[in-house]
Amino acid sequence: MHKVLKLHQLSAKVADKKFIKVAKFIDLCIRVIFSCDIKYSVKVGKGVQFYHNALGVVIHPRSVIGDDCAIYQNVTLGGNGKMKENNGYPILGKGVFVGAGAVILGPVVVGDNARIGANSVVIHDVEEGDIVVGSPAKSIVNKK
């Protein structure tokens, strides 16, 4: 398991025990040491991999990342301030690949085993098994 994820898990455990200031300090350490912003409240599944030390990764505090996802550098999972069923933050399914520099904004649900190309801007839901690229991201293949 990557060091960023180990520190994130420690931060989440500390926050669960109501030591929020300690959790925030660990989050600050993650930000300074690894140049990424992953808060203790982000739900990260098992087997998730952040490549290139999660350099430049920014994740909305309420985002959900499913099991076995691969996230490359400079990825943003961000809210857009609009409220919907999932309160305006991204949810990644299991086995999702997110290429370098991709941006996923707002209440977007990315289905299991979807692929998001590098530097894509995702503002709409992505179906299971889809491959999306571009700005705004559009499906090029549906592997259902």
Domain ranges of the chain: 40-142
| Whole-number Å distance between alpha carbons of 126 and 87 | 17
Encode pLDDT of 28-38 as tens digits: 999 999 899 99
pLDDT band at 142 (very low <50, low <70, confident <90, very high): low
pLDDT of residue 5: 87
Q: What 3-state class would DSSP assign to 113? A: coil
Give the strands of the sheet with 37-38, arranged side by side: 37-38, 58-59, 76-78, 103-105, 121-122
Percent share of the chain, pLDDT over 70: 92
Overall residue count recorded for the chain in this entry? 144
CATH number of the structural domain 40-142: 2.160.10.10
- pTM surpassing 0.85? yes
| Whole-number Å distance between alpha carbons of 143 and 20 | 43
Encode pLDDT of 76-100 as tens digits: 999 876 655 556 889 999 999 999 9
Least confident of 5-9, 30-34, 64-68, 79-83: 79-83
Percent share of the chain, pLDDT over 90: 72
Buried b or exposed e, range 61-93, using 16+ CB within 10 angstroms: ebbbbbebbebbbbbbbbbeeeeeebebbbbbb
Would you give the distance in Å from CA 27 to the centre of its chain? 15
